[in-house]
Amino acid sequence: MIAVEIENIKRFMAGFLAGDLFDDFLMNEGKLSMDIAYEFNGKVLKEFYDTEEWEEYGIYPYIPWEREKARMFGLIKGKKTPLSFQFVMMLKPEKVERFLEKYNLAAGQDEIAGLFINLLYDRKSLKCTSGVSRRSFTMDRGVEEYWDVEVKERLKEFM
């Protein structure tokens, strides 16, 4: 696990909320504190969708960020910055598979519960931490080490 301090917060937020910086992620959960506090559970609720919509949208257990970011942008935009926010972003399953292949890692996708980037903003700073959730314990830390490399690479232009 690494922690990355974002130096160019404005540019990062443009990529996060209006660009494609996190379009290959799902929103696992989020919290946003402004004039009131919001808490988001990113789990997709099947009962909200009709059959056709579910066939199109229901392929992930959590909401794809590319579908949710406009709503979040609508909440966050304005003259005042939020007091704080926290988002837990989870790499889409097909991207996890590509990540494992890219680094020729022995771990199978079925062993990885999720590859995460946690965003934490508190009006003074924005920090991003990496995280790996495994389905079972292992001494091998290759996935964690290479995920840290990927996170640094993704965020290097904002550091």
- Give yes or no for residue 57 having a pLDDT over 80: no
CA distance 76 to 20: 17
Mean pLDDT of the chain: 93
Domain chopping of the chain, boundaries: 3-158
Question: For residue 84, what are the β-bridge partners?
Answer: 33
Summarised one tens digit per residue, pLDDT across range 7-28 is 999 999 999 999 999 999 999 9
- Average pLDDT over every residue of 142-155: 95
pLDDT of amino acid 52:
85
Instruction: Sort residue 136 into left (φ over 0), alpha (ψ -120 to 50) or beta.
Output: beta
- Give yes or no for residue 59 having a pLDDT over 80: yes
- How do beta strands 84-91 and 25-33 pair? antiparallel
- Give yes or no for residue 40 having a pLDDT over 90: yes
CB 116 within 8 A of CB 151: no
Q: Which residue has the tokens 């490399």?
A: 149
Summarised one tens digit per residue, pLDDT across range 64-115 is 999 999 999 999 998 899 999 999 999 999 999 999 999 988 877 788 999 9
pLDDT of amino acid 54:
84
CB 24 within 8 A of CB 18: no
Instruction: Sort residue 62 into left (φ over 0), alpha (ψ -120 to 50) or beta.
Output: beta
Supply the pTM of this predicted model. Answer: 0.91
CA distance 153 to 106: 22
Instruction: Tell me the pLDDT band of 136, cut-offs 50, 70 and 90.
Output: confident
pLDDT of amino acid 158:
92
